[in-house]
Amino acid sequence: MGMKNNEFHTVRGYQLLKRKSGLLTPAMEDYLEMVYRNISGGNYMRVNTLAGLLNVRTSSATKMVQKLSQRGFLEYEKYGIISLTKKGEKLGGFLLQRHNSIERFLKTIGVDENLLRETELIEHTISENTLRCIECLNFYFEENPKVIEELKNIRQRYDKGL
């Protein structure tokens, strides 16, 4: 059975639908994940440190931190001090876990070239249902290391054109 015309969108179309639903943009997710990576557990960091970690200008980081603060994910204080709110801590933990799950899956299936880039591209477009399926598959691979060896052997044969 075919797909209905109103079910298909371009990548940009899906991004716009996600934005309309009130979810964070990929850039906002990256900032929040980086803050969480560096200050989870009640610590703080400065905007210029965050900018350096993300390779962006301090002014860009300040604008994004202000947006995340307005949405209730970060506390932004004088002199560029950033801390996580409870809401930010919860979502930041999810974002880091999502990143790690996708990265672990990609490593397991043999992705070694541009692993960080591939992970970043996938993590911002994946649904929670697909993420749960990947996490389940990661668990399966961990419980069945022979399957990983079989997969490596098949990949080697495939790469040789067999």
59 with 120, same domain? no
Query: Residue 41's domain spans which residues?
Result: 11-89
Looking at every residue in the chain, the average pLDDT score rounds to 87
Q: Are 106 and 118 in contact (CB under 8 A)?
A: yes
Per residue in 90-136, pLDDT (tens digit) is 999 999 999 999 999 999 999 989 999 999 999 988 989 999 999 99
Mean pLDDT across 68-91: 93
Last residue of a domain, one of 69, 89, 109: 89
Per residue in 143-158, pLDDT (tens digit) is 999 999 999 999 888 8
Which CATH number does the domain housing residue 20 bear?
1.10.10.10
In a domain, 114, yes or no: yes
Q: Are 40 and 93 in contact (CB under 8 A)?
A: yes
Q: Look at residue 79 in the predicted model and tell me its pLDDT.
A: 83
Q: Are 88 and 74 in contact (CB under 8 A)?
A: yes
List strands edge to edge, sheet with 45-46.
45-46, 81-84, 74-77
In a domain, 46, yes or no: yes
Please report, for the chain, how many H helices and E strands are present, in that order: 8, 3
15 with 85, same domain? yes
What is the C-alpha to C-alpha distance for residues 82 and 122, in angstroms, rounded to an integer? 27
Per residue in 7-29, pLDDT (tens digit) is 654 555 545 545 544 578 999 99
SS3 84: strand
Q: What is the model's pTM?
A: 0.81
- Higher-confidence residue: 59 or 79? 59
In a domain, 18, yes or no: yes
71 with 128, same domain? no
Domains of the chain: total: 2
28 with 83, same domain? yes
What is the C-alpha to C-alpha distance for residues 64 and 158, in angstroms, rounded to an integer? 44
Q: 121-130: long-range contacts (C-beta < 8 A, 24 or more apart)?
A: 123/29, 123/95, 123/98, 123/99, 124/26, 124/29, 125/11, 125/14, 126/98, 126/102
Which CATH number does the domain housing residue 149 bear?
1.10.60.10
In a domain, 2, yes or no: no
Q: Look at residue 2 in the predicted model and tell me its pLDDT.
A: 53
Angle subtended by helix axes 26-39 and 58-70, to nearest 10? 90
Last residue of a domain, one of 89, 114, 136: 89
Q: Look at residue 9 in the predicted model and tell me its pLDDT.
A: 47
